[in-house]
Chain A
Amino acid sequence: MTALTSHLRKYSAAPVCHDIQVNGQLVGLHDSGVLWWPDESTLIVADLHLEKGSSFARRGIMLPPYDTGATLEKLAGVMDAFDPARVICLGDSFHDADGSDRLPAPYRAMLTTLQLGREWIWVTGNHDPVAPVRLCGETVDETKIGPLTFRHEPIEKIGSEETAGEVCGHLHPAARVRRFGRSIRRSCFITDGTRLVLPAFGALTGGLNVTHSAYSMIFRRRQFSVFMLGNDRLFPFTASRLVGD
């Protein structure tokens, strides 16, 4: 797998994470957009949207067919750096329900190699409500491990029992800050300390600004922080510093 070497090099040193607490658990946010839970040796990744390109191509919109490859290569680099015992994909792993069936053979092989010797959990999402075909791993609607619950879509409640420790994806959070009359927008993690939403990991996935009303269902107004993905590091901001699109 020569295509991986560049990523291997990038993450060959011990990966540096930004450590935070979610519902009392120490977890690490990584600038690639994955979450690392050291106590459980678990890597969590959200919204891979594999085969998004071909999903559009079916409708006559010929997006570049390189998204699956790019996403898997990036994932392989991260996996190599963390070497997790368990991987949780937080839903929308495939862009549509047929996505896993369309997965071209080389990518299927690549994914299978990544799964070797690991526990692999596919959480279902709205794009992929069914278990992927011809791939290993367990498929669940959600899963609870210790104080953390992993599901695709956050429950639209604030401060209730069931949302404490929730780790999810779905929203593709992105944030914008402004300085010197210029603004910059990046994907980000968003958290209030009790729950966490991961950025989308897939190569062709856009972002939804955290000032959008969709987030007001899950975080109290301005009572959250974001961690924007930069090159080789994360940039933390409190909600009050962020602007809408």
Chain B
Amino acid sequence: MRFKLFKRGSRGVKLAENKSHTEKPIEIFPLPEKVTIPLQQNIGAPCVATVKRGDKVLTGQKIGDSERFVSAPVHATISGEVSATTTVINPPTGQPVSAVVITSDGEDKWVKLEVPKNPEKLSVKEILGKIREAGMVGLGGATFPTHVKLAPPEGKKIDTLIINGCECEPYITSDHRVMLEYGEKVLAGANIICKLLSPEVTYIAIEDNKPDAIEHMRRLVAKTEFKNNFKVVSLKSKYPMGAEKTLIKNLLDREVPIGGLPLDVGVVVHNVSTTKAIYDATFDGKPLIERVVTVTGAVKKPKNLLVRFGTPLRSLIEYCGGIDGKASEVILGGPMMGISQPDLDFPMVKGTNCVLVKESTPIKEQDCISCGRCLEACPMHLMPTTLAKYAKAGRYDDCKKTYIDDCFECGACAYTCPANIPIVQYIKVAKSELIKRRANK
């Protein structure tokens, strides 16, 4: 151990939480009449449809898959008939993706699920297969295919598993509710991951603004046989605590190398909702067809809903009493990293943890006064204003030298900027220019 005289303090910003509107139990959203299921709901390769117009499908039936390793299949989320194939805009990329439209027969007939007789005895390979077939992706919002993350390359020793229940974005309470209502399944899911990765210790990391979840998880852990290896830790509520790299730094004081992955420092992080879904896939053979989503902000009755994928945002907002007041923006995800939608036709997908309706604040950019607040906010210890200045001037190579690729666009810099500079926007532009250049080489 190297003695550190000056331990670098954690950065980030303190945000108004706005979580109290939806601190209530999960409600099951009624079966939608029609779903639109995009064939790409994950980072990695898109799927190819395995059904065509007119086909009858059952709930949980696979309707799209890909040969590529970094991909995740998609499933029918209701039973009925494939009524159309269409194209929707995928919010994170802004690119069009094909989608399958299913009209419900109102019966919700399921495919026969393969429930293992003795789930404890499944081999690593079998478990990974089940997780892949279930279409599992990271439900914290990143939507990285789970089976890839659970199969570290040979020679990479994982000593620590972190189950991420931080939920550091304001307004969102879906993970919070999952911990409170499906805590046992979260732990059982974590136990499955332990079987795959055999870490020495497992942390369940929760921000201290959720004392009831911390308490609940501690009580559950104390009851289980893995109480010696599972530790529930309370972390300061400071955005972006729940981002993988920030979490690893704060919890373990390790830094993931630039361009590297958590497994390079012996760590794997999984979100609590993903962990719960891993349990469902392994023990019940259930594919990923629904999730908990927080519908909040300027809606009359904010709620946490268990919703089938493909349900249009419009129905979710109507179920919550419709838009309240003069809200002008509908955001998929939280207010910091979420993406605003031009209309309500977009369906909810695997990565949708929140639908936030909000009055938007007009942005008028001023000149940077070099106050340095963005430097203090940046969890990656970057110099956001310098990056924005380079990006604005088209100096993309300088952006690269200033470690622009290390930025994960949490938005803490722009949040804190007194000159209202859309720093993240500039950084995104520079990043996509750099990607284009690389592609042209």
Partners in one complex: no
